[in-house]
Structure 1
C-alpha cells in the first residue's frame, strides 16, 4: 500500500499483528487430533478428552486434547461392589476384581448398574446347579416319553450303576383308594392312582421314579437354602426324582410318600426332607411342601405335596454360646493363670523346696499356663483357617506336654520309692534329669508332628481352633492322655505298695516314707483333676451335655488353683519362706522409719544427758 512506502516500519508492525491474529483465531480446518469442529468456527475435544487450556471451545490451532482418566479424582467412576475402574485412551471400562466374575461371563461392563460380579465359587456353583436342573428335567421327560411309547408294558425297570428307574403306565380309570408303589435301588415311592391319570386326560398316563446313586456328590448339602454357618449339614440319602406325564402335574390330591435308605448314619442329628427347587440362579434344596413322617436307624419316610427331585439331609447343629459358661470360663481361667504364675515364681525363687520334684512341677505349671492363656485368647479365632490350625496344633502340643510332665512326676515318685533302701538318691535324680526335657517336650512334639503330617486339615473346626471330631482325629490327643493316665495309675499303686511294705521294716525312715506318700497322693489328685476335665468334655452329648459342660468348665478353671494350693500354700517350707519375706519387709519398713526420725531424737537425748 502507499502507506507502506511512506512508513516502512508501520507496515512491518501491521504484518506481524496479522500473523498473531491468525494464530489466535484459527478456523475449523486446523482442529487438533482427538477434536472436532463446532459451527465452522471453533474446535472442541472428543468425549473422553480435555483441552490443555481446559477450555471447552477453542480456536488456537496448536491446542492439544489430552486423555481424561475417569478412574481418578475428580471423576473417580464407581463400578459397584467387587469391581474396579480401568482407564483406556479416550474412555474407560469396569471389570470384576480377582476372584469374581460377571454372571454373563463377559470380561467388562460400562457402569455400576451392569455390575453382576459374583465370587467365582458362587458363579461355578450356579452354573453347576443350572446344568443339574436341566439334566434332571431332561431325564424325567425322556423316561416318561419312553414309557408312554409302549403303553402295553405296564411296568418297566432299568438298573444301571449310576441310575435306577421304574415306570408305571395307567390306561384305565383308577379304582377307589388304589395307590402305586415304585422302587428304585434302595428307595421307594407311593402315589395315588388319581394323581397319575390327572383327571380327564385322554390316553395313557405314566409315573416315573428315578434314583441317582452318585448325583448327591454334585448337588450336596452345601446347596441347602437354610444352612447356617455354624451347622454341619450332610446329604444322608441318594437323590431321587418323581414325575408324571404326559402333562406335568401342578398339585397332588394326596401327598406322595417317599422312603429313603440312609447312606450315612450319625446319631444325635436332625433330619430334613428336601426337594430340588429350580430357580433363575440355578437351584437349591428347599423344605417347602416336604415333611418328615418317620425316621429310624436305617430309613427316613417323607411326604410331599408336589413332585420333583428329593433327598434327606442331616444337620449337626452348632451349639449356642451360654453366657454363664462364657463368664465361668473367663473368670476361672484368669484365676487359674494367676495361680499358675504365682506357683511358677514360687518354684523358681524358693530355694528351700528346689529339687527334682519341684523342677517337674515348674515345667508342668509353665505348660498349663501357656495352654490356658492360648485357650483364653485364641480358641475362637476361626476367621483365618491357617492361623486357626496353628493355634489348634499349639494347644494340642501344650496340653500333651502337661500330661507328659505328669507322667515324669509319676516315674520320679516310683523310682524314689523303689530306691528307699539306698542312702544316695543321686542315681534317681540323674536319670530323671537326663530324661526330663527330651521326654517332657520331645514326645508331645513327635505326636503332634505325626498328626499334623497325616491329617493337617483336621486341625481347627468351624467353631473352635481345636482338633476335629471327624475320622476320630480327637484320639490323637485322647489316646496319649488315656495311656499316660493308665501308666501313672500303675505307678501310684506300685508306690503305695512299696511304701506299705517299707513302713513295717524301716522305722528310721518313717518320715521320709510319709513325705513320699503325701507327695504321691498329691500327684494322684493332680492327675485326677487334669484327666477328669477331658473325660467330662467327651461326655458332653445327650441330655447331660449341659451339666457336663458346666463341670468341665469349673474343673478346668481349678487346675491352676489346685497346683498353687497343694504345692505352695500347703507346704510348710513355702509357708516359712513367705513368713521370712513378710518379716524382712516389716523390718525394712521399721528401719526406714527409725532412720527418718532418728536425727531429730538424738539432740534432745544428748541435751537431757548434759
Structure 2
C-alpha cells in the first residue's frame, strides 16, 4: 500500500515538472529552457542600427555615425538619426578642405571654385576662364579671382547684376515711343525704356527689380482705371509692353519667388540662379489663374545662368465686343448661327525667360477661375484663347481645353502669350415640341379669330360699340398672329426682319389699346346713363393712332432696334424693348384700375332698391368676359416680355407659347360660343343651311321619281308649271 502511494506521488511530480513553462526570452528544448536569439527576426531594430542578443533578451545599438533618439534603444520602435559631424565640429578636415556631411559619415572637399591639391590637403583655385572661354558670353571679359570669377559685359550687354552669369544683349527698342498711344501708356513705355538703357549702358543709379516692378504696376493701374484699352491696337501695345517689362524685371529680382498685388494687377514671379540649369516643375498662381510648366521649358535651349517665369493677371481689362466678334471668323458656322462671345475670366500674361515660345516642346497648363459660374450646356461653351498680336484679336489656335466645370477651365497651350477663357453663347434651338405647339396653336387661333371677325361683322343681333371693339381687336390679333407665324424667324433678310418686327410692334400695341377701349366702354355703361357709346373716330385714334405714333417715334429714335440676330422682334440693346413693354404696362395698370371701379359700381347697382336686373346681368356678363380676356392677353405678355432674353426659363417659354397659340380660340369661346344671341344666330344659320340641303335633296328625289314613272308626252300645262317652279323659292333660275 505504501509502495503504491509512492509510485503515484513520483508520477505527479514528473508531470508537474514537464508542464512547467520557461521564462521570457527562453524556449524549452528536451525538458530544459535555453536562450532564444531575438536578432534572427528581421526588422527587430530600427533603421541604421544593429541587434545584439543577450541571455534571455536583446538590445539595439546604432551604427557608427548615428545616434539614438531615446536613452535606451531596446525596441524596434527606436530610431537612429544621422550625426552631423560638420555641425558638431567632430570632423578632422584640415587645411582648405571643408566638411560636407553625408548619411552616417562626412567628406572633406574643396569649396566651390577650388580643386584639391595632389601633394597635400590644400585646395587650389580653379581658373574658370580658361576651360570655357565663352563662360561669360559673347564679347564679354572673364576675370578670374580666388574661389570664383566675374564677368564684365560690354556696352549693350548685361548680366542683370549677377557677375557669374552670361552677358546677353539688351534690346530697348521694344519700349520705343508710340505716337498714337494713350498718354499713360507713353509714360509706362518711357519708364521701361529709361530702366532698360540704364541696365544696358551701366550709367546712373539703377532701380532694383522690386522697385521697377512696383513702378510698372502703378503705371498699369492708372492706364487700366481710365478704360482707354478698348481697341485692338491699344490692347496689343499694352500687352506687349507688359510682356517685355517682365523680361526686363524678372532677372533683376533677388528673391526666389516675388508676389505683388496692386489695384488692377496681380503678379507672381519665380527666379532661379546657378551654374546648372534648374529642373522640376514650377507653379505660379494669382487671384484668378494658375500657371504650371517645367523648368526645362522655362530655360529652353540656352541657359545664361538664370531662369524666370512670371504670371500677371489684370483685374479690369475687358475686351470690346468688336474684338470678340472676330472669333467667328475662325469658325464660319458660328457666324451663321449668330454666336456671341464674352470673356469669362480675367486676362493673364504668362512670360518665361525662354526666348522661343511660339512652339514649345511641352505644353503649358493654365487653370482659370470663371467670372460667372455657369455650367456648359447646349447654349454655352468655353474656349481657351490667346491674344494674337498679328491679327489683333483673340484666337483659339494652339490652345485646347483640358477639363472644365462650372467654376474653372483648364487650358493646355503649345505657346505663350496673354490668355483668357472665352464663353461662347450659342442660340438655343427651339425644341420640336415648342415648334409643334406654336404652329398648331397659331393655326387654330387664326381660324377662330377669322370666325370671330365674320361673327362681329355680320351678326346683326349683337351690333354695337362693344362689338366694334371686339371686331378690331380680333383683326389686330389675327394680323399679328399671321405675321408672327410667317416671319418671326426670318432673320436672314435684315430689312424684311425689321418690317416684321415693326408690324408685330404695331398690331400687338393696337390690340392692347382696343382692350383699353373695351374697359372704358364698360365703365361708361355702368356709370353713365345716357350717351354710353364711343364715337368711332375717337376709337380709331386710340386703337390705331396711338400705336402708330409709338412705332414711328421708336423707329426714328433707334431704327436698328427692329430685328435681332435670333428673332424678328425688338432688340434688347439700349433697352429698346421698353418701347413695347412700357405702353403695355401703362395699359395694364389703367385697365386694372378701370375694371376695379366697374366691378365696384356694378356691385352698388345690384344692391340698390330698384335695380334693372336684366340690364345689370348683361353688363356683368360683359365685364366677366372682358376681365377674362384681359387676363389672357395680359398674362401672356407677362411671360412674353422675358421670351427674348437669354436666360428665359423653359416654364415661361412654354406658358407664353401655349397662351399665345390659344388666345384666338379662347376669344372665340368667350365672345361667341358663350354669348346667347350669337349662339342663336349660329343655330339659325345652321338650320337654314340644313333646310336648304334637305329641300334640294327632296326636289331632286321627286323629279327623279316623276320622270321614271310618267311617260314622256305633250301637256299644255307643263310649260307654265315649269316656269312657276323656276321662279319660286328654291328654283333653279
TM-score in same-fold range (> 0.5): yes
* Aligned positions of 1:60-139 closer than 5 A: 139=241
Matched, 1:483 2:577: no
**Which residue does the alignment assign to 2:548?**
445
Root-mean-square deviation (Å): 4.4
| Structure 1 segment 22-421 matched on structure 2, within 5 A | 139=241, 142-147=244-249, 150=252, 169-172=271-274, 179-181=283-285, 189-191=290-292, 194=295, 196-197=298-299, 201-209=303-311, 216-217=319-320, 219-223=323-327, 225=330, 227=334, 229-237=337-345, 239-249=347-357, 251=360, 256-257=365-366, 259=368, 262=371, 270=380, 272-276=382-386, 285-286=395-396, 288-291=399-402, 302-306=410-414, 307-419=416-528
After superposition, the Cα gap between the structure-2 partners of 1:153 and 1:508, relative to the gap in structure 1 and judged at 3 Å, is closer
Contact (CA 8 Å) 1:158, 1:166: kept in 2 or not?
yes
> 1:368: how far off?
0.2
Cα 1:310–1:221, aligned 2, differ >3 Å: closer, same or farther?
Answer: farther
**How far apart are 1:398 and its partner, in Å?**
0.7
Q: Counterpart of 1:519?
A: 622
What does residue 35 of structure 1 align with? none
| CA distance 1:136–1:203, shift in 2 (3 Å) | farther
- CA displacement at 1:439 relative to structure 2: 0.9
Deviation by residue 1:382-430 (Cα, 9 ceiling, x = unmatched): 11112211211110111111111111111111121112xx3x3x2x214
1:569 to 673, 677, 696: 673
Deviation at 1:515, TM superposition (A): 0.8
Q: Distance in 2 between matches of 1:384 and 1:162?
A: 44
- Structure 1 residue runs of 5 or longer lacking an equivalent are 1-127
Report Cα offsets for 1:549-606 as digits up to 9, x if no partner. 33322221211111122212222212222233334445555666787768989979x9
Which runs of no fewer than 5 residues in structure 2 stay unpaired? Answer: 1-230, 721-733
Q: Supply the distance in 1 between the matched residues of 2:422 and 2:257 (Cα, whole angstroms).
A: 30
SS of alignment partner, residue 219 of structure 1: helix
Tell me the CA shift for residue 265 of structure 1: 11
- Asked if 1 retains the 8 angstrom alpha-carbon contact of 2:487 and 2:500, the reply is yes
Q: CA deviation digits over 1:242-279, x for unaligned, max 9?
A: 12124435558795445568499999973625222769
Residue 416 to residue 434, structure 1, CA distance change in 2 (3 Å): farther
1:455-534 alignment, distance < 5 Å: 455-534=558-637
SS in 1 for 2:443: helix
> Are residues 148 and 560 of structure 1, via their aligned partners in 2, closer, same or farther at CA, if it must alter by over 3 Å?
closer
| CA deviation vs aligned residue, 1:414-465 (integer Å, no higher than 9, x gap) | 121112xx3x3x2x214x5453111111222222223323332222111210
Cα distance, 1:449–1:170 mapped onto 2, change above 3 Å: farther
Q: Pick closer, same or farther for the CA change 1:473–1:387 going to 2, 3 Å.
A: same
Give 1:140 shift.
7.0
Contact map agreement 2:291 2:311 (CA 8 A) in 1: no
Check whether the contact 2:453–2:471 (CA below 8 A) recurs between aligned residues.
Answer: yes
Q: Which has the larger radius of gyration?
A: 2
Cα distance change of structure 1 residues 551 and 232 upon mapping to structure 2, 3 Å threshold: same
SS of aligned partner of 2:356: coil
- 2:612 match: secondary structure: helix
CA gap of 1:202–1:537, structure 2 versus 1, over 3 A, is: same
Of structures 1 and 2, the one scoring higher in RCO (CA 8 A, sep 6+) is: 1
Between stretches 583-592 and 434-443, larger displacement belongs to: 583-592
Supply the distance in 2 between the matched residues of 1:222 and 1:254 (Cα, whole angstroms): 25
Q: TM-score, normalised by structure 2?
A: 0.55
> Relative to total residues, which structure has the larger helix share, 1 or 2?
1
The question of whether the paired residues in 1 share the 8 Å contact of 2:504 and 2:569 is answered with: yes
Once the two structures are superposed, residues 143-193 of structure 1 have per-residue CA deviations (whole angstroms, 9 ceiling, x without a partner) of 354236746698899999999987654325769776444x6xx86554467
Contact preservation (8 Å) 2:283, 2:290? no
Q: Per the alignment, do residues 350 and 169 of structure 1 end up closer, same or farther by CA in structure 2, a change over 3 Å counting?
A: same
TM-score (norm 1): 0.64
C-alpha distance after superposition, 1:195-236 (max 9, x if no partner): 544598341223344567668336324315454624322234
